[in-house]
Amino acid sequence: MVHVLVSLILCLLFMSGGFLTLALKDATMSSCIEEERQALLDVKANLIDLNGILNEWGRKEKKMDCCKWVGVTCNNHTGRVIELDLTFNSSSFVGKISPSLHVLNQLQNIKLSGINFQSIPLPSILGSLSNLQGLEISGANLSGPIPHQLTNLSNLLRLDLSHNSLTGSLPFSFRNLTSLTYLDLSQNQLGGYVAMDLSNNRFEGRVPLLPFRLAALNLSGNREPA
């Protein structure tokens, strides 16, 4: 009998410890910032959601914490939005890119590929998101030139604007994107000439075919090309 009671007490202590751990975890996770929640609601308002994917983005009490919304990732400690990814069912969305995105100034990744943006230009306001590391808006029916403000994104690692209808030439200040490791601008209508400086790196092997009309290409200071 004593053995049974001891076992029961230990079991209860174990269960209560688990509940306490969960409670502490919830207590340390910050909910989203009100200003950013409003900005996300404006993102939703600028999209026609054909399949109701974003129905859980709302104003009712149980929908208040935007960090729990589908497609939104927050920093667990600060509650700031760090990723917006609507690619999981992007064909359900038609509309435009909300200017309120600039409020989400801690964003590190934006993934909006596949949304039908109805031939709107790429908003220059994206260039104000200085923490951005990834910008992926491919196959999204964008048009017009690439805004030079994008070259302010010195932390940008990945840029994919492929399969749109972008026109004009690359901004001369594109060379400012010194952190860039992946660039895809294929299947657009871009033109003009590009000066490319890839000197003093560790490239080796054959130079790949480049989708640009190069005015100058500097490969000095690399390993001997084949």
Residue with tokens 């909300």: 98
Residue with tokens 């500097």: 218
Mean pLDDT of all residues in 35-58: 94
Q: Domain 30-191 has what CATH class?
A: alpha beta
Q: What is the pLDDT of residue 28?
A: 43
- Over the stretch 134-184, which tens digit does the pLDDT of each residue have? 999 999 999 999 999 999 999 999 999 999 999 998 888 888 888 888 889
Q: What is the C-alpha to C-alpha distance for residues 4 and 18, in angstroms, rounded to an integer?
A: 21
Q: What is the pLDDT of residue 224?
A: 55
Question: Tokens standing for 121?
Answer: 């230009």
- Over the stretch 173-186, which tens digit does the pLDDT of each residue have? 888 888 888 889 98
- Over the stretch 98-113, which tens digit does the pLDDT of each residue have? 999 999 999 999 999 9
216 pLDDT more than 60: no
- Over the stretch 114-139, which tens digit does the pLDDT of each residue have? 999 999 999 999 999 999 999 999 99
52: which residues sit within 8 A by CB, 6+ positions away? none
Q: What is the C-alpha to C-alpha distance for residues 202 and 197, in angstroms, rounded to an integer?
A: 13
205 pLDDT more than 80: no
Q: 217: which strand partners?
A: 196
Q: What is the pLDDT of residue 26?
A: 44
32: which residues sit within 8 A by CB, 6+ positions away? 65, 66, 67, 72, 74, 79, 80, 81
Domain with CATH 3.80.10.10 in the chain: 30-191
Which segments of the chain are extended strands (E)?
A: 47-49, 72-74, 81-85, 93-95, 109-111, 134-136, 143-144, 158-160, 165-168, 182-184, 189-190, 193-197, 213-218
Q: What is the pLDDT of residue 11?
A: 52
Q: What is the pLDDT of residue 226?
A: 43
**Longest Cα–Cα distance in the chain:** 89
Q: What is the pLDDT of residue 220?
A: 63
62 pLDDT more than 80: no
Q: How many CB atoms lie within 10 A of CB 8?
A: 10
Percent of the chain past pLDDT 90, that is, above it, reads 56
Q: What is the pLDDT of residue 223?
A: 60
Amino acid at 75: N
8 pLDDT more than 60: no
